[in-house]
Structures are given as C-alpha cells and as structure tokens.
Structure 1
Amino acid sequence: MSDVVVVDGPESFLAALDRIELLGDSLPVFHGWPKFDVKVDGDRYNGTLTPKLMSGLVEFQDQLLRTYAEIRYGSSSIGKLSAADKADLEIVLAITKGSTNGQGPLDGVLNKIISALPMNKMSGGNVTALLIVAVLCLAGYMVFSGWNQADLEKAKIASVERQSSTQAMLIGKLADALASKNLPPEAVAIKDRAAEGYRSIVAGAPDATSMDIQGEHFNADELEKIRTQEPLPKSRKERREDVYIDMVKRHPDYLSLTLRLPGSDYTFPGRVDLSKFDQAKVNRLFDSLRDSSPIRLFHYSSEQKGRILRTDVIAVDDVTVGQANTAP
C-alpha cells in the first residue's frame, strides 16, 4: 500500500505531481494549501463587503457545490447534496482591512472533490492533468486565461517574468495541462465552474479599481473585460454511434458510465436514467464492458468546441442493426 502523500504547499504539490505514477491508487491529501485568495481594491472595499460582492462570493461557493454534485451524482443540482456534503464544501473566509482581502482554506474542499473523481479509471497522464486543473483552477490560478495555445504560452512567459520560480512552475504545469488534447471532461467542467465562480466575484465589485486573484493582478479595464465575457457556448447534439464502455457504476436510479469513441483515448461521462431506459437491454451495457467490445448507443451529448463534455444515454441503438438485417 502506498504511503499517503501530504501536500501542504506549492513545492510539495509539484513534488507530488512528479510521483503520481508511483502512488498507485493513492492520491495526495491537501493540508493547509491551497487557499482562496482574492484582494479587491476600491473606495468601497476597505475590509468591507458590499451586498453585491457578497452575492458574488456566494455564487462562487455555489459553483464549488455544483462541481462536486456533477462529479459525484451526475447532476449539477445542489439539491442532490446532503447537509454533510454542503458542510464539507463550505469555505470560511477571513476579510482583512486596508482592502477587501478574502482568504480561506481550500484544502478540505479539494480533498472532497478529488475523492469523487474517477481517477482509478484513468491513465497516469490524465490523472496528473486532472489533478493539476482541479487544484489550480479552483484556487484561481490562470482562471481567466484562454484555452488556445498562444494564450497559454503567453501566460507561461508572463508568469516567469513576474512571479517566483515556484509560481512560474505552477502556471507552466497548468498551461501544459489545459493545452492537452486528451484533457479529461471532468477537468473541462472544473475549469468552467471555477471561471464562472471567479467571474461572479469580479461582477460583484463593479466599481473596483483593481483585483488580485492568487497573486495575479487585474486593473479596472481588465476587470471590465472579464465582466463582459460570455462563457464558451455549449451545444446539445443527438448522436447514434459505436462507443466503448470503460466503466459502469450502478446507482439506485441511474448508471454512471465512462465512454470512449473508437480510435480515441479521450473519455467522457455518460448517464443512464433507469426509469426511462429499456430494462431488457441494461445487461448489454455490462456485456460491452466485460467484453471490451463496442456498442451502438443513441445519446444526447453536451459539447463544447467539438469536445463531448458529457452525455445522456437514451437507448441501445438497434434501429440501424434491424434495418441492416432486413435489407435484401
């Protein structure tokens, strides 16, 4: 059994990433790091919280709850969470004077979220990428950076010029993870949730003269640009195709699937609503998993930039097969 690796700072996190392959099923446990760290400057922000900024902080908290609900229960509804879940995911902030500087521990929140991630079904590279994105994006690192390669490279160069060597290494790791073509869909979802949460904080301080998030400085013009940014559009598509099932997890009312298209290493989560799915064909899903054979499914996917983020499996698609068998 692998020893527990405790991460209590950026240096030990970088060291843990280098040892991921050696940890087996054991994942790092966070203690005292990272911390939520947002500093707001402006005439009305002197150790005080306006109602609008408070609302932004509440929305950030809600995004953390939705992140966990989506990973653990397959739904972003906060109503899926128990009182214990909500308590474990709650951030307690300390507000300091001179500016409105909110700080609070994120270690317990991250341990809770990471424990729900399907790490044991992923390759070492995907585990590393997902861990980097989950930890650093939720902590606010590079949270508003673009996804394209040029922007990520600019962020890496800027971090080297302006930050400590450790900070620059963290940014470099995150930029490389975000640029990966096989980034797990859970990482994409976490990145999006983190961005929306921090954008809500920015929107909650419309008259702030500047803001610092995890040491990254944003002036008034940059903050206004962030407020007006629209989230990347997502689309829903009807799909009928062969897929491989890499994992099935049974819940009382639904099945959680890890799916993969033929010829691809990229996996995405699927959900089967057992109240609507043909019960006579449920076993065919398990047969496909057991035999490592493709199965043709009818499903509705949520996609962003051509990438399937998640999907709802409606049925085993026998229509095409039946038509083929009756063809002359």
Structure 2
Amino acid sequence: MTSVTELFEISSQQKFIDFSMAVLEGKLDFPANVKFKDWPKIELNIKGKRYHSSLPTSVMEGFVQFQNDVYLAFALIKYGVADLRKLSATEKQDLELIFEIKEGSTDSNSTIDNWANKALESLGNIMSSMDSRDKAAVLITLVLGAAGYFAFDSYQSNQTEQVKVQKDVEQARLKVESEKVTAEIQKLSIAALQDANQQIHKVTVTALQQKITEEASEETLTRIKTASAQFNAGHRAIVRSAQDAEQITIGEAVLNKEAIKAVAKQPRPVRDRQPLTVECIIQGMKRHKDYMTFNVNCAAGEFPLRVATNIEGARSEIDELFESLRTGSSIKLKLNANYVNQKIEKAQFVEIVKEPIAKL
C-alpha cells in the first residue's frame, strides 16, 4: 500500500475518481492532508420561458431548501442525525453555498473547492478514527452527493441525450488526445461518444458506488446512505421549484419535461412525532453538555435516544439506563419518537416503564 505524506491536491473529476478508487481498493492510504483546487463544481441549469437570465422567487425557495438539505446531509455524516441544531454557527457559515447566475438562462455554476476543504476540515475528528476506506466513502458521498453526480440517474431519457453530447465530445477528446490519436475523434459517431463517456465517467462513478458498498463498514454505510438521500432531497427541491421548465440540468443529470414532472411528483419525506412504549437494548452512549445520547435497538429499529440530564430526578433513571447498557439486558422505555417516512429517525426519552410487582 502506498502512503502520501505531503499535500495531496485534487483538481479534477478524474483525479478524484482515480484517487478514491485507489483508496477503496487498498492501493493507497488516505492522505493526512487532502485539498481541493478548482474542483468540484455544482452545475445547475434551468431552461424555459421564465428562466431567461432570471431567478423566480419559487426557484429561490428551491435553492434555500437545497442549502438546508446540504446542512442536514452534513449533520448526518458528522453527527449521525439530521438535526440542524447540531451544526455550529461557524459550520453553517462554512457550508453555505454561493452561486453565480449566467446570462441566457437560469444557469448557475459554483466551484465549491473551498466548501469541500472546510467540510473536510470540520470532519477531521470524526474521520480520524476511521480507516482509509471509510474516509474515502465519506469523502465520495460528501463531494459527489453535493455536486449532484448521483442525482436522478433513473430519469435520463433519449430526448435529452443530444444535450449531453457536447460533454461527451469533450471527455472523449481528452481521452483520445492523451493517447495521441486526436484525429480519430472526428470519426466517432454519437453512439461511440456515448460509449466513451460511459467508460470515462459513468462506469467509474458507478464503480465507486459499488466499491463503497463492498469496502466501507456497516456503520459508515448507514451514515452515508442517509446523507446521500438528503442531498438528493435537496436536488428534488430545486426541480419542484421549476416544474414549468423545459429542461433542468443538475450535475450530470439532464431532465426533460417528462422527467421533471416525474421527479416533482415524488413525495416529500413524511415527518411525524408520536409517543411510543417499547422494549429496547442499549448499545452505546455519548455525553453532551445538558443531555446524553443513547444508541438503542428495538423492534421499531435502531436510533439515537436523547436523555436530558438537567431535569430534577433524572439521575436515578440515567443510572438504570447505564446498568442496562453495562449488562446488555433489555429495558422498557416510554419515548417521543420522531418518524421520517414511518421510520424512527430519533427519539426523546420520557421515562422507564416499571413492570407492576405481582401481589402475593
């Protein structure tokens, strides 16, 4: 395995893919100092009658929701929960995205190298305890998820393929020039260019996704899957905000009218809060200033349980929770559970349920 002790700079999509695959395959240790320069980029383009060099209010709302989902995705990666309260004011400032609107359409491009560097720096303590493969899995999800490389793969259509040919040509040109047969590019058909693009980009990005599932730990996979879904929710919010558009491009995904309607129809996450009484196994604990977080496992799933420590009388119940953690014995709890799409995301502790003592 090769080690990189000095600064490792990533300045292009292909260098990032090559680097990530080398780490996932165990050929390269994750460097101590990774920096992005002039890459990655978030590319958003909306074409339609209302989107000629303008940004309607509805789309502004979509961008705001996208930013909110970026915050939530980062919180999931760093803290394991989609809770904005986890992020400090500094983190929110560092993770704020800035877009530039070009003339001709609502065409917004943003180079987010500084964003990626600050996000990576903020994850330092979390990633320090991970092995190289888990670090790579987190970085791939963070960078490609935010930039939209994983968004809307199922909505690519033949009607929008012509728009992608320009990108195909450029990527094929780079590959051909590197092999010193530039003249051959003129002979390539559109189909051949698409095949070249698949070899250069689609296949490698897909391979990264597959390699992550093979090499990352279960704990890391759980975090990055939910974070990836959160990033995609933000991209869907932008599409919903521009449902009358003729075409929307986000990263590598090109959506025509039919695809825009299909994405917009996807339901928003259903959030709910309900009381729950359930038998649980406590698997871990983390201390905070005014509360503790216990990791619990029960018939309803696995989720973090928040227990306030600044409430009168809480000490005795916390002692019982610790005893359950120490012995591995089950304990019956009354909770207020926060559901997302009928799955518990997190819960707040109410009380321990005492079983009645049988009368003699």
TM above 0.5, one fold? yes
Please give the root-mean-square deviation of Cα atoms over the aligned residues, in Å: 4.3
Decide which of 272, 282, 285 is 2:307's aligned counterpart: 272
Distance in 2 of aligned mates of 1:36 and 1:122: 27
Decide which of 207, 211, 215 is 2:244's aligned counterpart: 207
SS of match in other structure, 1:45: coil
Counterparts of residues 56-135 of structure 1 (less than 5 Å): 56-68=62-74, 78=84, 81-113=87-119, 115-116=122-123, 118-119=126-127, 129-135=137-143
User: Cα distance 1:79–1:303, how it changes in 2: closer, same or farther (>3 A)?
Assistant: closer
User: Cα distance 1:25–1:163, how it changes in 2: closer, same or farther (>3 A)?
Assistant: closer
Spell out, residue by residue over 1:204-262, the C-alpha distance to the aligned partner (whole angstroms, 9 max, x if none). 2232110111121100111012112103545656252332434x332222223445569
Distance in 2 of aligned mates of 1:134 and 1:37: 16
Decide which of 258, 280, 285 is 1:242's aligned counterpart: 280
Decide which of 38, 46, 60 is 2:52's aligned counterpart: 46
Distance in 2 of aligned mates of 1:26 and 1:79: 29
User: Cα distance 1:319–1:131, how it changes in 2: closer, same or farther (>3 A)?
Assistant: farther
Q: Confirm or deny: 8 A CA contact 1:39 1:211 kept in the other structure.
A: yes
User: Cα distance 1:231–1:52, how it changes in 2: closer, same or farther (>3 A)?
Assistant: closer
Query: Hey, what does 1:168 align to over in structure 2?
Result: 203
Decide which of 119, 134, 143 is 2:151's aligned counterpart: 143
State the one-letter code of the partner of 1:48.
S
Distance in 2 of aligned mates of 1:74 and 1:19: 23
- Shift in Å at residue 268 of structure 1? 4.3
User: Cα distance 1:76–1:306, how it changes in 2: closer, same or farther (>3 A)?
Assistant: closer
Q: Confirm or deny: 8 A CA contact 1:185 1:268 kept in the other structure.
A: no
Distance in 2 of aligned mates of 1:18 and 1:43: 45
Spell out, residue by residue over 1:276-323, the C-alpha distance to the aligned partner (whole angstroms, 9 max, x if none). 58222334555666x5835535244445677653333444x4524x75
Name stretches of at least 5 consecutive residues in structure 1 with no aligned partner: 147-158
SS of match in other structure, 2:346: strand
Distance in 1 of aligned mates of 2:133 and 2:342: 22
Identity %: 24
Distance in 1 of aligned mates of 2:253 and 2:151: 10
Query: Hey, what does 1:231 align to over in structure 2?
Result: 268
Distance in 1 of aligned mates of 2:245 and 2:289: 48
Distance in 2 of aligned mates of 1:91 and 1:187: 20
SS of match in other structure, 2:63: helix
User: Cα distance 1:81–1:138, how it changes in 2: closer, same or farther (>3 A)?
Assistant: same
Distance in 2 of aligned mates of 1:46 and 1:217: 18
Q: Confirm or deny: 8 A CA contact 2:29 2:132 kept in the other structure.
A: no
Spell out, residue by residue over 1:17-46, the C-alpha distance to the aligned partner (whole angstroms, 9 max, x if none). 542667579685544432211111123323
User: Cα distance 1:130–1:313, how it changes in 2: closer, same or farther (>3 A)?
Assistant: farther
Decide which of 13, 19, 24 is 2:23's aligned counterpart: 19
State the one-letter code of the partner of 1:251.
H
Query: Hey, what does 1:154 align to over in structure 2?
Result: none
Q: How many residues were matched structurally?
A: 307
User: Cα distance 1:258–1:32, how it changes in 2: closer, same or farther (>3 A)?
Assistant: farther
State the one-letter code of the partner of 1:144.
F
State the one-letter code of the partner of 1:200.
A
State the one-letter code of the partner of 2:279.
E
Q: Confirm or deny: 8 A CA contact 2:52 2:103 kept in the other structure.
A: yes
Distance in 2 of aligned mates of 1:87 and 1:285: 37
- Shift in Å at residue 97 of structure 1? 2.4
* TM-score normalised according to structure 1 size: 0.71
- Shift in Å at residue 95 of structure 1? 1.9
Q: Confirm or deny: 8 A CA contact 1:31 1:107 kept in the other structure.
A: yes
For the pair shown, the structure with the greater C-alpha radius of gyration is: 2
SS of match in other structure, 1:319: coil
Distance in 1 of aligned mates of 2:65 and 2:195: 32
Distance in 1 of aligned mates of 2:336 and 2:127: 25
Distance in 2 of aligned mates of 1:107 and 1:12: 14
Spell out, residue by residue over 1:187-210, the C-alpha distance to the aligned partner (whole angstroms, 9 max, x if none). 344233322321221122232110
